[in-house]
Structure 1
């Protein structure tokens, strides 16, 4: 029975992989879902367990130069990805409505397949975001939203690139790359040091830009439900993209509410100053009350003592 079940599982797995686009099979990480899944599991193991344990008794690493290079490199890569998406179809023939995937070996079709893979590969590079947080002991930045987004996105996009590298399913990849141009530019300036802080007044709008991204992605996918006919080859991906956009819109909206409405994500130095102010104020008040009370008690005791001494001395003088 176990052998039969194993055979059926392997048969289903083989059938699943047989339907992949042969043009992308030779790209890095595309030979099997096992390798990319292992990388993502290793990522989760590091950021949730091994990394924090390694850093527990160590000082945060100073990675300023590395982070500047990393973030600005991702800006350049994201700009290139956006350009390639536009030139591969979105400005050269796509209708921005029902656009099927081109599986041909035409220069245009191959170019779109290549940039779809490059977008996927950039998601694995971006796992370094969390690695930097761990090594710098920025634990407050490692939220459920952050980890889920960085692990779920590359895993799902591997399947997207494997079966439909292009067409209307690639819209959200292009929009996501546009957002990352802005986002990693912000991170690059932030890593450059305090002298650039005055240029980062637009931090809160980063989340707003991401929310707009998810609205656009969901609206674009929603078109499919109202079309009389559409020959996009893998409708399942459109369902997933719509759910992805809606789900992340909810998560990022909650982040916006917690961070900017309830103010739960103030910078640590601001929080520390506020806490110190409260603590110092409370200490000063308690010290004042305590010192005043002590002085008052000391005054009463000293007065009583002087009074008693006066009575004794006066009595002795009279007796003498």
Structure 2
């Protein structure tokens, strides 16, 4: 009898394992691992039951039953949480990348003078080409005869990462600014080891501009071609090169101000995108574009002030900031104007 019960337990466990393997593809390896471990446990108990005496058989049958229940629970758990594994992958990859950056730079460059001047020129050149060519290919060729991709899970994780990263950046910048011997409003970069932390934050801000190019990739894969304008791509490319120049030639000092302002606005922006994906009402939605325009005006005023009153910071970099801010003002003012016109047009059509 014990052998029959053990055999039944083994068959039930095997059936449960087969069901667990039908979960999400992304969690298949985890499901197989759970199933394999549980199958070994059931086989062990079944073998012991078949060899046991009549006195020990009832207890071992109970053990076999408990094992079957554990297999069923783990199988259901793997199946139900497969989507979570799929969503967290991109967030984990980016987080690991940032941690690796921190370790590498801290270990090798913290004691160097002006460590950030060694950054590569090849990287922004290659990424600019890949970005422009890749987006044009996706938009005009690859996606022409394809249905839009459903990328909600990846976009949720991407926007969550950007929100948390920019919150962390704002807090870290403020911590460095208000620290003893921190940078002033118009100071030059401290290129000694004492200024490494602030420089590293600016360097991270620059590297995040590569990640932000995913904004356009998501648009292309979802066939939101009306959003992929020349000004949109120009914005991403110009910002990338502007921050490369800052990191290469003056990574520190008053450079923190633009990164701090930009990180603050990006907290609002990516949090809004995240809430929209989750279908949660965002209280600052109507003020987001005005906040972005205010950011550019403040950064432009900061650049003019620094150009007038400082001799520590390179004038050509300040002029570059003025150029970038004027470009951003034109870009977002046009976007704001078009949005207002569409709103008025919709209001008039409803009134008629």
TM-score, length of structure 2 as denominator length: 0.62
Q: How does 1:126-145 map to 2 (within 5 A)?
A: 126-145=212-231
Aligned residues of 2:163 and 2:266 also touching (Cα < 8 A): yes
Which deviates more, 118-127 or 34-43? 34-43
TM-aligned CA deviation for residue 250 of structure 1 = 2.1
Match of 2:300 in 1: 218
Distance 1:204 1:143 in 2: 22
Aligned residues of 1:183 and 1:206 also touching (Cα < 8 A): yes
Match of 1:207 among 263, 284, 289: 289
The alignment partner of 1:59 has SS state of coil
Which deviates more, 93-102 or 245-254? 93-102
Distance 1:247 1:265 in 2: 27
Distance 2:179 2:294 in 1: 21
Give yes or no for the alignment of 1:233 onto 2:321: no
Aligned residues of 1:86 and 1:92 also touching (Cα < 8 A): no
Structure 1 residues 55, 244: closer, same or farther in 2, change over 3 A? same
Distance 1:201 1:92 in 2: 37
TM-aligned CA deviation for residue 22 of structure 1 = 4.2
Match of 1:97 among 182, 185, 196: 185
Give yes or no for the alignment of 1:23 onto 2:23: no
TM-aligned CA deviation for residue 124 of structure 1 = 0.5
Match of 1:161 in 2: 247
Match of 2:107 in 1: none
Distance 1:243 1:67 in 2: 31
Distance 1:38 1:258 in 2: 33
The alignment partner of 1:60 has SS state of coil
Aligned residues of 1:259 and 1:265 also touching (Cα < 8 A): no
Match of 2:208 in 1: 122
Distance 1:243 1:264 in 2: 32
Match of 1:65 among 131, 143, 153: 153
Q: Report Cα offsets for 1:250-298 as digits up to 9, x if no partner.
A: 22112111111354997xxx9xxx8xxx9xxxxxxxxxxxxxxxxxxxx
Q: How does 1:2-13 map to 2 (within 5 A)?
A: none
Q: Report Cα offsets for 1:233-261 as digits up to 9, x if no partner.
A: 32211111122112211221121111113
Q: Report Cα offsets for 1:203-255 as digits up to 9, x if no partner.
A: 3321111000001101111112432xx23232211111122112211221121
Structure 1 residues 119, 105: closer, same or farther in 2, change over 3 A? same
The alignment partner of 1:99 has SS state of coil
Aligned residues of 1:98 and 1:231 also touching (Cα < 8 A): no
Q: Give the unaligned 5+ runs of structure 2.
A: 1-112
Distance 2:343 2:179 in 1: 41
Aligned residues of 1:145 and 1:251 also touching (Cα < 8 A): yes
Distance 1:135 1:92 in 2: 47
Match of 1:187 in 2: 273
Q: How does 1:28-47 map to 2 (within 5 A)?
A: 30=119, 32-47=120-135
Structure with larger RCO (C-alpha < 8 A, sep 6+): 1
Distance 1:133 1:264 in 2: 26
Aligned residues of 2:159 and 2:273 also touching (Cα < 8 A): yes
Match of 1:246 in 2: 326
Distance 1:265 1:129 in 2: 28
The alignment partner of 2:313 has SS state of coil
Distance 1:70 1:265 in 2: 33
Q: How does 1:297-316 map to 2 (within 5 A)?
A: none
Structure 1 residues 88, 142: closer, same or farther in 2, change over 3 A? same
The alignment partner of 2:193 has SS state of coil
Which deviates more, 47-56 or 130-139? 47-56
Distance 1:264 1:69 in 2: 34
